[in-house]
Structure formats: structure tokens, C-alpha cells
């Protein structure tokens, strides 16, 4: 018996049992498809109800804006109607927009009918008289006769007196037609009010009750009013056709106003779709079986030995060191083809390593320049991402508000796309500059300095006397060794430039404890135990004015082309990011000493907690303290958080936030930017805030997309939301931070 025949027999035998199991599974899937189709009806109804709630909330915001328009304060009825007519043209989802006087009489309307109507009998008018928010009522419009959802908003004076009532008539018929098209006509949509009046009737042939008719007393209305009793309701018409209905069961603004949203589908259509799926699955199984048999036949027919010979020849060439050897395509599929590809990739990788070794010297010579570029692009990314946060967030708002206007909605989408491309640009700049995050390690700084001693002496030259004074038994610290070396080299090179005629330079390292009176270059005290690294020179020194600006980015006293002004600012940023501080003393003619303080490592870092499950609730009612120095970003975040239901307190800097924390006891979470002016960055603010409030949750945000936040002691697990961020990311991160277990 040939190999080909044996393979075919084995494949057929192996397929019998799986084929039987798959067939049983397909039959079970038919039942699951029917259940899924029924569940889809409820999901569609809930989705329509959710969309209507968004439209109601959007209308409320429109009312809020219109209430501040000067055109509504005039008693010129024609001017008022003309203004509302212009507004209505921008919002075609409304059949009309009008104002009602406190006595219930129509004053002006967007249709310019100049009619006199007494609306005191309308439920929405009565509710608006006593309610501070919007009032809703599903009715047929008196001016248009179209089924609408009346959305009324009372406009009051500063003293609380009712000035007028704004009313927008949301077109329910258009709303239902839109969703019917979105559902591809497979489902019917029925809108009824609490009395059973049909506001929007299905367009399918299985429904007999016209618009304006009543289904009061029917099983369908009782089902719509109490959807929790059963999941679905079947309705059979006079011709014996059965329709299955589902109602939006979740609480919504529309339902609270007495508007029931039902989605139905023909029962025959549900079963037919499941049967069609069953037949399709069985056909796929049959085709797959035939294809598998054909593949085995081809595999057995094609000569395997020839492919093995090609592999052996390639292996021999690689063994002789011929890295240019390749197995030319075509390659067979499966393990043989994968092995050929692997051998080709191995040879190519070895050639690439040779090229990388040749290129390594050039890359090393450019590392200092690239680090300076990293600092520059990091600052650009921070400010640019602040702007992108506002642009992206507001473009989302515009897209939501302009959903009914296709052209403006597209423009809002283009703005969001441009903002996202801007975010990609900042990431590209950081990648180009090779801005890497800190990689702290528990190290002995004295050992690191001794390793650097030959390099530092060569950098200084023979005309400068260099001395190392390193105390024994230095405390352990957690520092990035590479960044420490770069910082120390920057200080030594600055000292060399200050000693053009020679002199002395001392590198010192010792343990030290700082108190409240020990301040860094920005005047901030951070008491504690530190390992101090000091570089002292006997050079020209600096005036008080120059020393005060020495750590500013791009500030330099050197000639053009001999300094970028980034060296000391890079040193300061690295030390502060490592949790330490910097001091400097200098006098003209008496040299300079720069001291770097790195926190003592008290204990080994604790293992990071396992990530919890992602929060599924995006809204809340907790109180959040927002600390953001950028006014536009702060206003945008405050608006978003309020829209999500949170209570919001906002401050522009860390000291102001700490003052508020001392006064308020109901703050649940601190949402702070990482980089802020005023000498207090986000991590330091979080550390002091948690000392004031041990139970306070913390969420960071930053425009440095590749720069992780080192969590201060006592703050717990760091959570960071990078800028720019979308609304859903903000909501999810907040819930995750608020839902995290107490430290």
C-alpha cells in the first residue's frame, strides 16, 4: 500500500469522530442562534433607548446654550421666531423649537406660524413649572401633527423667577426611521406612550394598528409596562403571522417620561435564519473535509525528499561560514517551509549582526547628542499633548453634538483624526530621540564612581588635578546607573570648562540626613536620608544671577556652538525623577560645588500587585480633585468628569490642592498631572496628599507617553493616563483607580 493511500485512510478515519461531534454541535448552535437572535432584540431596544437618552441630554445642553442667547430676552416675537428658525435649521431632528411664557401661552416658534396656543394643559408645561431640569412628554405636535418627544427646559432669572420655557419637539418618526435603516429592515420598531397610543408604527406588513391608534388593554402594552415579568411577548395578527417583541427594559429618561420602545421581528424569520446558519455550517464542514483530503493527496504526491535535500545543502553552506547562502523560493508550506524560512532568517540575522557591530561606534558617538534631543522633545511632547488632549476631547464633543449634520460631523471627525496624528508625531519624536524610561537598580554609588574614575580623568585632561573622596559603607540607593553616569559626566565637563588654566576637582560621595532647612535649587525641602554625590571645582565660579538660572533649559553662558544649555537641566530632571534633590553653591573666583542627593533605599521594593479586572462601570458620583496647570486641559477634564456624574474640584497647582485637601473631607481621588510648575510635580503632590489622607486614591496623567511615573512611598500602585486621551479611556481609568482595593 502506498504512502499516499495510507495517509488518506488515516485522515478519513480520524475525521469520522470529529465530524460526528461537529454535526451535533452544529445542531446545538441552531438553538443557540435562535436564543441569540431573541437576545439581540432586547439589545437593539436597549441601544435605541440609549441613543434616545443621548439625544435628550444633547437637547438639554442645547436648551442650556439657547437660554443664554440675547435673542430670547427680547419681546420681539418676529425676531425671536426668526432666531429659533435659524437654530432649527441647524438641528433637523426637531420639528420645531419654541418658547412659552410663564402663563402657558406660546410666544414664538421656529415655524413662524404666529399662532396663539394655550399650553397649560400639557404635562411637560406643568412639570417644567416645578422642575429645575428638563421635562419630557411623548405627544403629537399641535403645530405639526407629527409624533414627537417634547423636551421642555425652564429658563429662570438669577433670582429664581421663571422667565420662559424652551421647548424642542424631537421627531420620533425620523428617529425610528433612522434606526430601522440601521437595523437593515430586519427588525420592526414600535413606539407607544404609557396610555397605549401608537406614536410610531412598524413599517412591516405584520402590524395593523395605525399611528394614533391605541393598544390599551393589550398584552403587548402590559408587557411593555412591566418588562421584568418575561423576556419576550408574541403577538399574532389576523392572518396568523406571529411577531416576537422585546422592550427596552433598562431605566432611561424616555421610559421615565412614559415612552416605551419595542423592537420586534417575525418569528418565522428568527427560525429561518437559524436554519440557514445550520445548513451553511454543514456545507462548510463538507467543503473543509474535501479540502483536507485534497491537501493530504497533494502532500503525499509532492516529493518530500527534494525539499529535504535543499535544507541539507543550505545547512552545509552555513557550516562553512557562507552567510550569503539562501534557499530560494518557492518554499513549501508546513514545517519544511518554516524550517527553510528559519535558516534564511538565521543567515540574514548573522549578516545584520556584522553590520550592527560596524555601526556601533558611530551610534555611541551620537548618544550624548541624542540625549539632549530627548530632553527637548520630551518638553515639546508635554505641551503638545496638553493641546492635543483639548483638541481631541472637544472634537469628540463636537462629533456627538453634530451627529445629525453629516458634513459637520465629518469635520469633527477630521479634527479628531488630526489630533491623533499629532499624538503619533510626538511618539515618533520621542522614538527618534531615543528617550528611554528610567531603569533604576539597587546599586552602591561608590562602586559606580570608582568604575567611572578612568573615564572622568581622561575627560578632564592632565592640567586638572582630580581627587575622589568616597566614604565607606555608603547606603544603597535605587538609581538608573546609565543616567547617573551621564549626569556625573555632565558635571565634570562643566567643571573642566570652568578650569581653562587648570585647577582642582573633587568628586565626593557620603551618607547624609537632610532636615526642613535643607533646600534644593528651587527652594523645596525634602527631609530624609540620602546618598550625596558632590562635584567641587576651583574654577571661575558664577554670579548669583547666573547661578539662579543655571538649571534652566537652554540657558548657557558659553559661546554659540559650544554649549546647548541642556546639561544641568538634564541632571536636575534625572535627580528629581529619581526622588532626590539638587543643591549648588558658587561664587565668582571661588569655584562651584554641585550636590546630588539620592534617597536611601530603606527596603527591597515590594512586588507589584497583580492587575485587577478592568472596571466595567464608567460613571460614578464620587468627588474628584483635579490638579492641572494648563487652563484648557483643566477645563476639559472638569467638564468630562461632570458629564460622567462625578463631583469635581479643580486646582492649578500642588500647594493649592493641598490647601483644599486640608479643608475638605469628602475627596475620594486625586487626579493630577505629573509635570507642573511651582516646584511641586504630581508624584510629590500625591505623596503629601496621601500623608494627609491615607485612604485617598491617586491617578496620574502625563504628556510624556514613554516616561513612567515612579510611585512615591505610601502612594501604592501607580496608575497613569497618558495624554492625549479619549473620554472612554478617562472613564475606565477613573473607575479602575476608584475600585482598587485600599492600600
The answer to whether the pTM exceeds 0.85 is: no
Choosing from 174, 207, 234, the residue where a domain stops is 174
Q: Are residues 109 and 221 in the same domain?
A: no
- What the block records as the C-alpha cell of 582 is 539638587
User: Lowest-confidence range among 425-429, 495-499, 594-598, 712-716?
Assistant: 425-429
In a domain, residue 36? The reply is yes
pLDDT classification of 623: cutoffs 50, 70, 90:
very high
The closest alpha carbon to 7, from 236, 299, 271, 273, belongs to 299
Query: Residues 361-376: what's their mean pLDDT?
Result: 47
717 and 632 within one domain:
yes
Same domain for 160 and 259? no
Task: Tell me whether residue 68 is in a domain.
Answer: yes
Q: Per the domain annotation, does 330 fall within a domain? A: no
Report pLDDT digits (tens) over 581-608.
Answer: 999 998 898 899 999 999 998 765 444 4
Of 151, 174, 197, the residue that ends a domain is: 174
Range with top average pLDDT, 141-155, 313-327, 569-583: 141-155
3-state secondary structure 278-289: HHHHHHHHHHHH
720-722 β-sheet, strand order: 647-651, 623-627, 669-673, 697-702, 720-722
Which helix (H) or strand (E) segment holds residue 553: the answer is: none
**Which residues does 35 contact at the CB level (< 8 Å), separation at least 6?**
none
Domain span at 689:
623-739
Alpha-carbon span 73 to 559, nearest angstrom: 65
Would 559 be classed as within a structural domain? yes
Q: Could you tell me if residue 323 is inside a domain?
A: no
Nearest-angstrom CA–CA distance, 32 and 396: 37
Q: Are 128 and 217 part of one and the same domain?
A: no
Q: Which of 384-398, 499-513, 618-632 has the lowest mean pLDDT?
A: 384-398
- Give pLDDT tens digits for 632-642: 889 989 998 99
In a domain, 318, yes or no: no
pLDDT at 7 over 80: no
Q: Are residues 242 and 262 in the same domain?
A: yes
Do residue 191 and residue 161 come from a single domain?
A: no
Answer with the residue of higher pLDDT: 12 or 634.
634
Residue 428, pLDDT > 60, answer: no
- The yes-or-no verdict on residue 653 having pLDDT over 70 is yes
Phi and psi torsions of 105, nearest 5° = -100, 140
Asked if the structure places residue 352 within a domain, the reply is: no
**In contact, 689 and 657? CB cutoff 8 Å:** yes
State residue 674's pLDDT score: 85
- Domains in the chain, number: 4
CATH of the domain at 662: 3.40.50.2300
114 and 149 share one domain:
yes
- Among residues 174, 202, 221, which one ends one of the domains? 174
Domain co-membership, 574 together with 642 = no
584 in the same domain as 506 = yes
- One domain, residues 198 and 170: no
**Cβ atoms 209, 192 nearer than 8 A:** no
Do residues 546 and 592 lie in contact, with contact meaning Cβ atoms separated by under 8 Å? no
In a domain? residue 300: no
CATH of the domain at 452: 3.30.565.10
Q: Are residues 160 and 72 in the same domain?
A: yes
Asked whether residue 721 carries a pLDDT value surpassing 90, the answer given is no
Return the CATH number at 218: 3.30.450.20
pLDDT on residue 711: 64
Answer yes or no: do 205 and 128 share one domain. Answer: no
Amino acid at each position: 500500500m502506498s504512502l499516499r493511500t495510507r495517509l488518506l485512510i488515516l485522515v478519513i478515519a480520524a475525521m469520522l469522530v470529529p465530524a460526528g461531534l461537529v454535526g451535533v454541535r452544529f445542531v446545538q448552535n441552531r438553538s443557540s442562534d435562535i436564543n441569540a437572535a431573541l437576545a439581540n432584540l432586547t439589545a437593539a431596544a436597549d441601544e435605541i433607548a440609549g441613543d434616545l437618552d443621548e439625544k435628550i441630554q444633547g437637547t438639554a445642553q442645547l436648551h442650556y446654550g439657547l437660554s443664554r442667547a440675547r435673542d430670547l430676552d427680547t419681546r420681539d416675537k418676529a425676531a425671536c421666531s426668526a432666531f429659533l428658525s435659524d437654530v432649527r435649521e441647524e438641528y433637523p431632528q426637531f420639528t420645531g423649537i419654541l418658547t412659552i411664557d410663564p402663563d402657558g401661552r406660546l410666544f414664538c416658534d421656529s415655524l413662524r406660524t404666529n399662532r396663539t396656543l394655550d399650553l397649560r394643559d400639557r404635562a411637560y408645561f406643568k412639570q417644567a413649572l416645578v422642575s429645575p431640569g428638563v421635562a419630557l412628554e411623548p405627544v403629537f405636535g399641535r403645530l405639526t401633527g407629527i409624533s414627537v418627544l417634547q423636551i421642555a427646559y425652564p429658563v429662570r432669572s438669577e433670582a429664581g423667577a421663571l422667565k420662559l420655557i424652551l421647548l424642542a419637539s424631537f421627531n420620533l418618526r425620523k428617529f425610528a426611521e433612522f434606526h430601522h435603516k440601521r437595523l437593515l429592515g430586519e427588525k420592526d420598531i414600535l413606539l407607544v406612550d404609557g396610555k397605549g397610543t401608537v406614536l410610531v408604527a412598524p413599517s412591516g406588513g405584520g402590524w395593523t394598528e395605525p399611528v394614533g391608534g391605541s393598544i390599551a388593554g393589550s398584552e403587548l402594552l402590559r408587557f411593555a409596562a412591566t418588562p421584568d415579568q418575561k423576556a419576550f411577548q408574541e403577538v399574532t395578527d389576523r392572518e396568523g403571522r406571529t411577531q416576537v417583541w422585546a422592550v427596552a427594559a433598562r431605566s432611561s429618561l424616555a421610559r421615565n417620561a412614559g415612552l416605551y420602545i419595542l423592537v420586534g421581528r417575525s418569528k418565522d424569520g428568527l427560525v429561518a435564519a437559524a436554519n440557514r446558519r445550520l445548513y451553511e455550517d454543514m456545507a462548510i464542514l463538507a467543503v473543509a473535509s474535501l479540502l483536507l483530503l485534497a491537501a493530504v493527496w497533494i502532500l503525499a504526491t509532492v516529493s518530500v525528499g527534494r525539499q529535504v535535500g535543499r535544507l541539507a545543502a543550505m545547512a552545509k553552506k552555513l557550516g562553512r561560514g557562507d552567510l550569503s547562502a539562501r534557499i530560494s523560493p518557492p518554499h513549501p508550506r508546513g514545517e519544511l517551509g518554516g524550517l527553510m524560512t528559519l535558516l534564511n532568517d538565521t543567515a540574514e540575522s548573522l549578516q545584520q549582526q556584522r553590520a550592527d557591530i560596524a555601526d556601533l561606534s558611530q551610534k555611541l558617538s551620537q548618544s550624548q547628542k541624542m540625549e539632549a534631543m530627548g530632553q527637548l522633545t520630551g518638553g515639546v511632547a508635554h505641551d503638545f499633548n496638553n493641546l492635543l488632549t483639548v483638541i481631541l476631547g472637544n472634537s469628540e464633543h463636537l462629533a456627538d453634538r453634530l451627529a445629525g449634520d453629516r458634513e459637520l460631523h465629518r469635520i469633527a471627525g477630521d479634527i479628531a483624526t488630526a489630533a491623533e496624528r499629532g499624538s503619533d508625531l510626538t511618539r515618533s519624536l520621542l522614538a527618534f530621540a531615543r528617550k528611554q524610561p528610567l531603569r533604576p537598580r539597587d546599586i552602591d554609588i561608590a562602586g559606580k564612581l570608582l568604575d567611572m574614575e578612568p573615564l572622568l580623568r581622561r575627560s578632564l585632561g592632565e592640567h586638572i588635578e582630580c581627587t575622589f573622596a568616597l566614604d565607606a559603607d555608603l547606603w544603597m540607593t535605587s538609581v538608573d546607573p546609565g543616567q547617573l553616569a551621564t549626569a556625573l559626566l555632565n558635571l565634570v565637563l562643566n567643571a573642566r570648562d570652568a578650569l581653562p588654566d587648570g585647577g582642582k576637582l573633587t568628586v565626593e560621595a557620603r551618607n547624609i540626613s537632610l532636615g526642613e532647612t535643607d533646600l534644593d535649587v528651587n527652594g523645596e525641602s525634602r527631609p530624609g536620608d540620602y546618598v550625596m554625590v558632590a562635584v567641587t571645582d576651583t574654577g571661575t565660579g558664577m554670579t548669583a544671577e547666573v547661578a539662579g538660572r543655571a538649571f534652566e533649559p537652554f540657558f548657557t553662558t558659553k559661546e554659540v556652538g559650544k554649549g546647548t544649555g541642556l546639561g544641568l537641566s538634564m541632571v536636575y530632571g534625572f535627580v528629581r525623577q529619581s526622588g532626590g534633590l539638587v543643591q549648588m553653591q558658587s561664587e565668582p573666583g571661588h569655584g562651584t560645588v554641585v550636590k546630588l542627593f539620592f534617597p536611601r533605599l530603606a527596603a527591597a521594593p515590594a512586588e507589584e500587585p497583580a492587575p485587577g479586572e478592568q472596571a466595567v462601570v464608567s460613571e460614578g458620583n464620587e468627588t474628584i480633585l483635579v490638579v492641572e496647570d494648563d487652563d484648557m486641559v483643566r477645563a476639559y477634564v472638569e467638564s468630562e468628569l461632570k458629564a460622567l456624574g462625578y463631583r469635581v474640584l479643580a486646582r492649578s497647582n500642588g500647594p493649592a490642592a493641598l490647601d483644599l485637601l486640608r479643608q475638605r473631607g469628602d475627596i475620594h481621588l486625586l487626579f493630577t498631572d505629573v509635570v507642573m510648575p511651582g516646584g511641586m510635580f504630581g508624584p510629590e503632590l500625591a505623596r503629601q496628599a496621601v500623608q494627609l489622607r491615607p485612604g485617598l486614591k491617586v491617578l496620574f496623567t502625563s504628556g510624556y507617553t514613554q516616561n513612567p511615573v515612579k510611585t512615591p512611598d505610601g502612594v501604592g500602585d501607580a496608575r497613569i493616563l497618558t495624554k492625549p486621551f479619549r473620554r472612554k479611556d478617562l472613564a475606565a481609568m477613573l473607575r479602575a483607580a476608584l475600585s482598587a482595593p485600599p492600600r
